[in-house]
Every structure is written in C-alpha cells, then in structure tokens.
Amino acid sequence: MQSKTTLNVDLLRADFPVLSREVGSAKKLVYLDSTATAQKPIAVIEAMNDFYRHHNANIHRGVHTLAEEATAMYEKGRKQVANFINAPSSRQVIFTRNTTEAINLVAYTWARANLQAGDVIILTEMEHHSNLVPWQILEAERGVRLEFVPVTDDYLFDMDAYRELLKLEPKLVSFTQMSNVLGTINPAQEIIRLAHEVGALTLVDAAQSVPHLPVDVQALDADFIAFSAHKMVGPLGVGALYGKMALLNAMPPFMGGGDMIKTVHLRSFVPNEVPHKFEAGTPAIAEVIGFGAAAAYLQNIGMDVIAAHEHEIAEYVLERLEEIPGLTVFGPSVEHKGGVASFVMDGVHPHDVAQILDGEGIAVRAGHHCAQPLHEKCGIQSTTRASFYLYNTKEEVDALVEGIYKVKKIFG
Amino acid sequence: MDDLYREIIVERYKTPHYRGHLDPHDIFFEDDNPVCGDHIEITLQVDEAGVVKAAAFDGHGCSISQASADLLVESIHGKSMDEVKALTKDDVIELLGIELGPVRLKCALLSLKVLKAGAYGLGVGEVSDDLVE
C-alpha cells in the first residue's frame, strides 16, 4: 500500500517486470534511460493483453457487443488521459502516434491555416528536434520567422531575452516544459502568461514534464500541449495533443480518411467533430487503452509524490557526480531540474562510457539526445545521459557512480 | 564486452601505432559519424605497382572508432589497392576480434568507409554505407 506522501519504491518496482532482468554476464539491470522510454507496469501490459484476448474489435461504428466494449474502453482511455492533465473535457484530448506527431499536427493544421511569411514563432535553444524541425520545414515553405530564446550560462530559460523577443509580437511560442538533456524545468505558467499578453498562442512540448511533474493544463492556460504515452509508463506508439476547444474546432483536419468524417460523397466530405476530426483511420486501440491505464497508475500514486521522489534522487545524483574529478554535468542547480543528468568525462567518449556501464548492467544513453543545437551551444559533441524515474533508487545512483569509477580506471 | 575488448581497443585508443598525417600522400579522405562526433581521416602512399607502402589515420572519437582505424591502417601495409577496395565489414570485425551491436558497428566501420571512399576516388557527396556492406 502506498503511503500518501512518500513513495515505497521497493514495493512499486515489483510492478515492473523488466526491472528484475539481468543483462550481460548476469548483472542486475539498472535502468537509467527512462527519458528515452519508461518501463511499463503489469497493469498497463495486462490492460493491453486483456483487450486483445477478450474485447478486440474495431471502434466507433459497430453495434455488436465486442465493438461496443472496445469503443467504451477506448473512450475510457481518453477520459483517463484527460483527467491526468486536468483537461476541461476529454474531447480536447486527441490521440496521435507520439509527441512528434502531435507537434506536427499543430504545424500542419493550425500553423498553416493561420501563419504567413514574416510571422514570428518563438522557440528555444534547448528544444528537442521534434519541436524544431516542424517549424524549420514551415519556415522554408512559408517564410515564417523563427526566433530562439537562449539558454543562460546557468542552463536556464533566458527570461530577459524572452521578454525582448515578445516585442516582435509573435504568433506562437513553442517551448519545452522540461529539457530532456539539461533537466531544466521551465516556468511554463509564466512563459504562457507573457505570451498571451502579446497575443501569442502557446504550444508546450510536455514529453518530459507530463511523466515527471504534476501538469494541469487549466492552471497553465496552455493553448496546446503535446506528450507521449511511452515516457509515462504507457505503451509505445501513442501520444496526445491537448488543445483549447475553440482552437481545435477552428483547425482544418490533419489526415483525411475514415472516422474523421461525418459524411462523404464522391467529391466532398464533411469533417467529424473534435476529437474525431483529428483521428483518421483505425487507431492504436490497445495502445490507447494502455495509455489510459498508465495515466491511472501514475495518478493513483500521485504526481506530486513521484516528483518529490525524483527530486530527492536528482539531488543525490548531483551530489555524488560532483565528487568525481574530471566529470562535468550539464544542467542547472537542483531546484530547477528534474531527474536527468547529462555529463562528459575528460578523455573518454560518451559511447565508451555507456558501453562500460552496460557491462555493469547500467543502461544510460550516449549521443546528442535529439538536441544537436543545444550540444553545439554548450560546446560539446555528445554527452552521456542518466535519467531517473519513480522506480529508481539511491542504490542505483551508487551503482552508476561505481561504474563511472570503473570507466576512469580503464581509460585513466 | 569482455576484458579482451578492453585491452586491444583501449591500448590502440590510448597508444595508436599509426596516428598521423602523411605528407606527401597519394590518397586522402575524411568523414564523420555526425550522430556522435567521431571523425576519421586516412592518408596513403601508394607505389608504382599499386601497393600501399605507407598509411596513417587521424581524427577523434570513441575508442572503437579510433582503435579500428589504427588496426585497419596497420593491416593494409603491403596490400594492393585492389585488395584494399575489396575489404568488407567482416574484415574489420575480424581485426577487432569482438562482436558489436549495430550502433557500435557504425563506429567501427567509419574508418573502412573513409578508406574505401579514398581508394575509389569518390567525391564527398558520393559516400554511402554501401561501401561497408
């Protein structure tokens, strides 16, 4: 039984089958790559299997029993996800393939219907490629102007520079609520408030924030937020776009086809209502059900409890990594960051660090983590990244540090 | 990865036998693995009979990319250019003596890609992974 205020990590680890794996030469798995994808609890796995075993049918049209059950389960998934982010209505949650597709949906529908050459979009230097490239494509196609809020020397969102950029009267501010490299948690509510003051809409890349922090779309007053199931202990292959109702109603369709229509004639169609307007074709039904189960699983534990646990781990990680000579962590001080530690070691390439750690059973990631411009800004090619989630422990931090000392010994 | 890997790879990474830039040279090529920042250049001196008489590599990156470059360049001394052009990824894997997953294999094959591109006299835009099939 979970305490209402602290996480019983040992208890909840039993929910995640993968965590009892051994890798390589019988090493216990220490999974520190949740920012790439999180592990899944039995509840999510079983929810999806249950659908395929007992309820599999196509949704929204059929009248037979299985179809009705499938439809109910799918729409329940939508409600669970909507609930998780405190959306006013579940109709405002649109299922996509992932965060990337959700952002592209906004770029292809809202942006192309509303922006023209010279219109300004504000992004930041710490964005993931998924919140950069869709806008670069739009720039090349349409001549919109991209401006970037810099990352400060303290690895924070440069609020002063942002205020200056807002004087350009941008149409859209699209930003990450939590950096997948730096761990920096940006003051989203404030960023959105300031954007609204100059008449700009906002899109929050919440791929990292929704899984790790309590996110309330109404409190944020966000116009759009995008996130993925798989980073919040849900299945791969499904994500969500939340949007304000008026915006979604006004946007033209994204993909055309079955289910997103009300009526179709040979030469014309009438689009369906939101959210169905944006969900063309047979969706990933089992995945949506898994998404809902993941949202319910996390909500049952409590996002503030999870965030508090991660904060404790983040503090401990930084403390221990700071002890290690020749190791530099990239990111802000701990009060501004989540459980992500990206670092470089003198004289050792991140690939080699990751490889040696793998030999000890420790899974981390090496590379630019889909943030090449950010790495360029920090003057580095690539980093090793260890990321933490609700199921990680301080003992695992100790294992990471021990592994790093082993790397130093080999390459020393 | 077992201890054997660490010895060969780390030894050649820390103390390469063939790091350098030949000047003059008959063949020169360089390329990156942009995903992780590995960079390799290779210079060769070839005699009138078309045989490699000297070879060197330079660059920066992970231990596997640099060590495989050192081992590869060592192995082609005295080989004909036709033999160089015929080298495959299996030859590199044999030189390294370890098994590699697809991600690290790319690191190991960068030097082969550079070597063969240089041997075939390819332009910068003509280099592809087909060279290291």
Q: Does A98 touch chain B (CB under 8 A)?
A: no
Check B36 against A359: CB less than 8 A apart.
no
> Distance from A381 to chain B by nearest Cα, in Å?
6
> Is residue A351 within a helix (H) or strand (E), and if so which, with residue range?
helix A350-359
pLDDT in tens, B65-92: 999 999 999 999 999 999 999 999 999 9
Question: Residue A166: its pLDDT value, please?
Answer: 98
Question: Residue B103: its pLDDT value, please?
Answer: 85
Nearest CA in chain B to A406: B6
**Chain B residues touching A384 at Cβ < 8 A:** none
**Chain B residues touching A410 at Cβ < 8 A:** 6, 10
Check B63 against A381: CB less than 8 A apart.
no
Amino acid code (one letter) for A408:
K
Active site residues of A: 370
The residues near A258 (Cβ < 8 Å, ≥ 6 apart) are: A280, A281, A282
Q: Does A8 touch chain B (CB under 8 A)?
A: no
Check B37 against A352: CB less than 8 A apart.
no
pTM of the model: 0.93
Instruction: Give the CA angle between residues B29, B7, B13 to the nearest 5°.
Output: 30
The yes-or-no verdict on residue B33 having pLDDT over 60 is yes
The yes-or-no verdict on residue B3 having pLDDT over 70 is no
Of the residues A351, A362, A385, the best mutation for testing chain B's interface (the one with the most B CB atoms within 10 Å of its CB) is A351
Domains with residue ranges and CATH for chain B? 3-29+37-120 (3.90.1010.10)
Check A410 against B10: CB less than 8 A apart.
yes
Question: Residue A4: its pLDDT value, please?
Answer: 59
Average pLDDT value for chain B: 91
The yes-or-no verdict on residue B1 having pLDDT over 80 is no
Question: Residue A238: its pLDDT value, please?
Answer: 98
Check A367 against B1: CB less than 8 A apart.
no
Give the C-alpha separation, B63 to B44, whole Å.
22
Contacts of the segment B73-80: beta carbons below 8 A, 24+ positions apart? B73/B18, B73/B42, B73/B111, B73/B115, B74/B17, B74/B18, B76/B44, B76/B52, B76/B115, B77/B52, B77/B53, B78/B51, B78/B52, B78/B53, B79/B51, B79/B52, B80/B49, B80/B50, B80/B51, B80/B52
**Chain B residues touching A356 at Cβ < 8 A:** 1
Check B36 against A366: CB less than 8 A apart.
yes
Domains with residue ranges and CATH for chain A? 9-31+303-411 (3.90.1150.10), 45-300 (3.40.640.10)
Could you list the pLDDT tens digit for every one of the 412 residues in chain A? 455 578 899 999 999 999 999 998 889 999 999 999 999 999 999 999 999 999 999 998 889 999 999 999 999 999 999 999 999 999 999 999 999 999 999 999 999 999 999 999 999 999 999 999 999 999 999 999 999 999 999 999 999 999 999 999 999 999 999 999 999 999 999 999 999 999 999 999 999 999 999 999 999 999 999 999 999 999 999 999 999 999 999 999 999 998 899 999 999 999 999 999 999 999 999 999 999 999 999 999 999 999 999 999 999 999 999 999 999 999 999 999 999 999 999 999 999 999 999 999 999 999 889 998 999 999 888 999 999 999 999 999 999 999 999 999 998 7
Which of B10, B14, B36 lies nearest to residue A351, judging by beta carbons? B36
ipTM of the complex: 0.85
Q: Tokens in use for A360? A: 């000890």
